Amino acid sequence: MAELTGSEILAKCLKKEGVEDLFFIMGGPMLLAEATCVKEGIRMIDVRHEQAAAFACQAYSRLLQKPSVCMAASGPGVTNLVTGVANALVDCCPVVAIGGSSPISQFGRQVFQEIDQVAIMRGCVKYADRIHNLKRIPQQVNFAFQKAMSGKPGPVYLDFPGDILYQKIDESQVDWSFAGRPLLDARPLGNPAQVAKLIEALAQAKQPLLVSGSGVIWSQAWTEMQALVEKIGIPFYTTPQGRGVVPDDHPCSYLAMRSSAFRDADLIVVLGTRMNYIIGHGAPPRFGGNATIARIDVDPDEIATAARYVDIPIVGDCKMVLQQVLDGIGGKITQDSYKAWRQKLAEGEAAKRAGAGANKYAEDGDIHPVRLLEEIKNFADRDAILCVDGQEILNFGRQTLPTFAPGHRLNSGPFGTMGVGLPFGVGAKVAKPDTQVIVVHGDGSFGLNAMELDTAIRHKIPILVVISLNGGWTADPKREKPGRDLGYTRFDKMCEALGGYGEYVERPEDIRPALERAQAKVDEGMVALVNVRTDFRARFAGAAFSDYST
């Protein structure tokens, strides 16, 4: 049989693992591997910064619920991946990062770009490994994919030394038995006794609440969750990254009453999400001190080490446990069981919505971010994928922009990384090319990965980018924050210079027409950017640190 290099074995393994798209920046010692990936029929999308490759992977994986792959050259190429991989770790996203490294035969001799990349990555991933033997490449690649998706998903890293990539071996000597081995689809049921306790607690509760997170997306449990919500009429809330598993406009959704509902609930069912700072660690004052806490999670460590004691712990897959609950309820709980609770939340919701001032803007004509977001909300397709990134625009967007499809709301997650928006948009459109993708950026965060416009334009990845141009980082009513001001950059002209379509908007009545013209260009296959000048004084009132990931 023919001889193969380590690079060729790697590319063939990726193909056998089902990889169709790969985000990367070219460079040694990965050049042959990258070229062979092209020969294997993998779509190679070269970005402008390795960080963006990892971010694009994160969006891709979230939308398709499967591993994604990014690749980087040795040394600074790999270290540039770190922020993106760390974001994936904190967000529990199965990104498979592959990096070249210095020749293993020369480790310790201070050769070009020599650094212990595995040690650097180990704190940012679920699993890190270095390739030493060409025969075992299929096994180690498959193990990486398995570990990325097993249990609680997360990123993994494989380190390929340069000499391993260019060594040759007869193809017959390679152990191909692991290549493309199906990923473990473990869906553990919950302990029946604990499930019965949960059903009894639901039957006794007067004001229960369902709080769900990304675990519902990874287990593809949105059908079962919506069925439970509708069967018993339980109000629900999702974490920022879990939005859309049940549409935000569902009758049991009361977004404006989130804080009140958390405090007043007598039973809170935490489903597929960590009890971290986003939900106040499930403790007072965010959650009521006397509430019963039930928790469903595939990771027993998440339950065992929770900051608040869990009264009804259920270790299991969200989809399976929800079906157990649905099967066990029978006629014990009906829509009428929580009618008074829903009425209380509905009245509070109506009062808050009435005073929200949805279409407001300053008297001098400066556009308020909420007005911009209202225009986007009314313009977007119902199943649009919204990638939101920034500070003020992110926080205003939490309350203004709804999401109606599972996983179609993307932001940086608990790590709070800025600069994710545009790379997320690229990854999202590659994952779902027939779905409208709208990237909503603050101008500060946009600058961090702005050159990914070039990536989208070169690769004909048609997305709509909308920038809230308030002239700097965050809002600054008194203009007193050092380093805040960035000026009013004409990002629309930047997009045009790169080959895309750009518009600049200064009046609120011009927003919708600009969005329509821009989307028409997107529909023709272009990248379009609408640069909207917004009020630098518009500060999200009462924002707590825990709100900044929403």
pLDDT at 364: 56
Answer for the pair 198, 159: CB distance below 8 angstroms, yes or no.
Answer: no
Which stretches in the chain have pLDDT values below 50? 358-359, 361-363, 542-550
CA 272/CA 411 separation, integer angstroms? 18
Q: Which residues make Cβ contacts (< 8 Å) with residue 185, sequence separation at least 6?
A: none
CA angle at 455 for the pair 452 and 459, rounded to the nearest 5°: 155
The Cα-based distances of 68 to 65, 160, 512 in angstroms read 9, 18, 35
pLDDT for position 430:
99
Q: Which domains does the chain have, with CATH numbers?
A: 3-178 (3.40.50.970), 192-353 (3.40.50.1220), 369-549 (3.40.50.970)
Of the candidates 343, 379, 456, the residue with the CA atom closest to the CA atom of residue 45: 456
> What pLDDT, in 10s, does the model give residues 135-165?
999 999 999 999 999 989 999 999 999 999 9
With both helix axes pointing from N to C terminus, report the angle between 392-400 and 369-379 in degrees, rounded to the nearest 10: 50
- The CA distance from 94 to 4, in Å, is 28
- Which H or E run includes 10? helix 6-16
- The overall longest dimension of the chain from CA atoms, in Å, is 77
For residue 294, give Cα distances in angstroms to 201, 244, 335.
9, 22, 21
Contact 179, 15 (CB under 8 A): no
pLDDT at 283: 83
Q: State residue 361's pLDDT score.
A: 46
CA atoms of 47 and 25, how far apart (whole Å): 6
Crossing angle (nearest 10°) for helices 222-232 and 318-329: 30
Tens digit of each residue's pLDDT (9 = 90 or more) over 441-499: 999 999 999 999 999 999 999 999 999 999 988 767 777 778 888 899 999 999 999 99
Q: What is the pLDDT at residue 547?
A: 37
To the nearest whole number, what is the mean pLDDT of the chain? 92
Report how far residue 147's alpha carbon sits from residue 22's, in angstroms, rounded to the nearest whole number.
19
Q: What is the pLDDT of residue 484?
A: 82
**HSE-up of residue 509 (Cα within 13 Å, Cβ side):** 1
